[in-house]
Amino acid sequence: MSKDWLPAALNGGHRYRDRVQAAAASTVGYYAERYVHSDPSVWRERLAAGEIWCNGQQLRADAALAAGDQLLWHRPPWEEAAVPVLSQHAVVFDDGDLLVLNKPSGLPVLPAGGFLEHTLLMQLRSWAPEARPVHRLGRFTSGVLVCARQRSTRASLSARLRESTADVTVRRGCLKVYRALTEPLPADWGLGETRPIKTPIGLRPHPLLGQLWCAALAGDACALASRSALTLLERKPGRCLVEVKIATGRPHQIRIHSAAIGSPLLGDPLYLPGGEARAEVLPGAGGYQLHAHRLSLEPEGLCLEAPLPSGLLEGQQP
């Protein structure tokens, strides 16, 4: 394993706490519905192993639950996959409060998806302990990641990154610019041409997670309005190099929008043409190349840029 990677290792386990909202006839049934990643047989094994506590008492057999019961699942240590090391060389900008990093592909930002300790947040604590991420990038998305040391700064920037009022064709407010490789775009899409994508993003049923963000179903009243602008930079055999500007920060927005127009990110194992997800795949699966290349912030007058990774440098337009 390279010195630039943390090797796979066991973590210290984790305690998941829940407060029962409504009476349930079965502890196993409650957990199977609450955490759909495990079926009832797995929860029965965990119960028998003494991993579950109710109101401070360790449970060994299934039992009914009352509203207000306090549950604790003490998950034993598990192995976390190897991840890149975040070094101080990854700093793009630092003014003592705002800290902008060039996140490497393969490093989760926050605990999720089987990662607890092998995260960017945990690594930050060793050399920038007061800094916290303002937003997330997918594990396999590289590039500009904004952190801040002051809580007020994080709150303000988080709101702006989630929902900018900026037009994606005008550099004002908050503008996020990505580079990516996609499956071939339609033949009538000219080099240098920009087209808007406004496919709403909503939750759809998913057998492994219960629900997953995808291109919204028609008539979904809870769907989130989403806006991207995709520019074709270069056609290559079996792929296209594109630039994507986004004026909203929806979950998996670029992955979903590129799939929605029939050209998913090259190598994306999750999203199918049209924007639906494969039932057997989780969002954390990698294989695609997506890079948060630039972030412009006004009125601060900041334009922050993370150098392109090697896979996207090939054939790069000047």
> Based on the domain organization, do 53 and 151 belong to the same domain?
no
pLDDT above 70 (res 74):
yes
Domain that holds residue 137: 81-162
> Based on the domain organization, do 273 and 156 belong to the same domain?
no
Question: Which residue, of 140, 162, 184, is where some domain finishes?
Answer: 162
Structural domains counted in the chain: 3
Helix (H) / strand (E) containing 48: helix 40-48
Is 3 inside a domain boundary? no
> Based on the domain organization, do 298 and 185 belong to the same domain?
yes
> Based on the domain organization, do 73 and 198 belong to the same domain?
no
CATH number of the domain within which 150 lies: 3.30.2350.10
Determine phi and psi for 54, rounding to 5 degrees.
-130, 120
> Based on the domain organization, do 157 and 182 belong to the same domain?
no
Q: What's the rounded mean pLDDT across residues 266-292?
A: 95
> Based on the domain organization, do 301 and 203 belong to the same domain?
yes
> Based on the domain organization, do 265 and 310 belong to the same domain?
yes
pLDDT of residue 79: 97
> Based on the domain organization, do 223 and 87 belong to the same domain?
no
Is 6 inside a domain boundary? no
> Based on the domain organization, do 216 and 175 belong to the same domain?
yes
pLDDT above 70 (res 170):
no
Question: Which residue, of 58, 79, 100, is where some domain finishes?
Answer: 79
- Per residue in 186-232, pLDDT tens? 999 999 999 999 999 999 999 888 899 999 999 999 999 999 999 99
Is 147 inside a domain boundary? yes
The amino acid at 152:
S
Helix (H) / strand (E) containing 155: helix 151-162
- Integer Cα distance of 265 and 288 in angstroms: 6
CATH number of the domain within which 71 lies: 3.10.290.10
Is 4 inside a domain boundary? no
> Based on the domain organization, do 179 and 310 belong to the same domain?
yes
- Per residue in 141-153, pLDDT tens? 999 999 999 999 9
Is 217 inside a domain boundary? yes
Is 173 inside a domain boundary? yes
pTM (predicted TM-score): 0.88
- Per residue in 294-303, pLDDT tens? 999 877 889 9
Question: Which residue, of 79, 94, 119, is where some domain finishes?
Answer: 79
- Integer Cα distance of 88 and 164 in angstroms: 29
Is 158 inside a domain boundary? yes
3-class state of residue 40 by DSSP: helix
pLDDT of residue 36: 82
- Per residue in 76-97, pLDDT tens? 999 999 999 998 889 999 999 9
Pairing relationship of beta strands 5-6 and 228-236 according to DSSP bridges:
unpaired
pLDDT of residue 169: 47
Best CA proximity match to 119, nearest among 92, 146, 93, 137: 137
> Based on the domain organization, do 299 and 196 belong to the same domain?
yes
> Based on the domain organization, do 42 and 125 belong to the same domain?
no
